[in-house]
Structure formats: structure tokens, C-alpha cells
Amino acid sequence: MRWLIVLLIVLLVALQYRLWVGQGSFAELYALKRERALQEDEVARLMARNQALQAEVADLSNGLEAIEERARSELGMIKPGEIFIQVIEPPKPPRETTP
């Protein structure tokens, strides 16, 4: 009878160890839930980025205003008859350093 009680106690301790520390434990479950939440946030961010890019593609394929805006801002292009004015700021004097 005494051996049975000892055996049951050892079995209980082994099962509790696996529940709290071993494979499939609460700690591992918590870590997996946290990793899943991080990946869901990443997926949401990437989906928003994809939607923005899809809207930009649709805008570029449908309207000439977006193409004209990009040509003006990124390539510096102008229409015939317009005057291009470039403002150049004077260079800043170097700061003196004291030893």
C-alpha cells in the first residue's frame, strides 16, 4: 500500500512538471500566443501597406493627374510654356571648434 502511494505521488509530480515546464506547458502556450499576436499585428500592417499600394496603382492607371504629379515632384518635369525656378540656398559657414 505504501508503494502505491509513493508511486501515485511520483506520478503526480511528473505530470505537474510537464504541465508547468515541459513540452506543451502553460509557459510554451503563453509564448506561442504572444508570437501569434505579434504576427497578426505584422499581417495587419502589411495588409494596410498592400491596400495603399493597390490604391496608388489604381490611381496611376486611371488618372493622368497622379502621373503628372509624380513626374513633377520626383522627376522635376514641367509643361511646355511653364517657367522652372530653382532656389539654391547659400552654403552655411562651417562652425568653429575650440580645442
In a domain, 17, yes or no: yes
Q: Do residues 40 and 46 touch, judged by C-beta distance below 8 A?
A: no
In a domain, 84, yes or no: no
Cell numbers 506520478 label which residue?
A: 11
In a domain, 63, yes or no: yes
In a domain, 44, yes or no: yes
Number of separate domains in the chain: 1
Burial label, 66 (beta-carbon count in 10 A; 0-12, 13-18, 19+): middle
- pLDDT confidence of residue 70: 79
Provide the angle, in degrees to the nearest 10, between the axes of the packed helices 26-62 and 64-75: 100
The string of pLDDT tens digits covering residues 13-58 is 887 777 777 777 788 889 999 999 999 999 999 999 999 999 888 8
The string of pLDDT tens digits covering residues 45-56 is 999 999 999 988
In a domain, 18, yes or no: yes
pLDDT band at residue 61 using 50, 70 and 90 as cut-offs? confident
Q: What is the pTM of this model?
A: 0.48
- pLDDT confidence of residue 99: 62
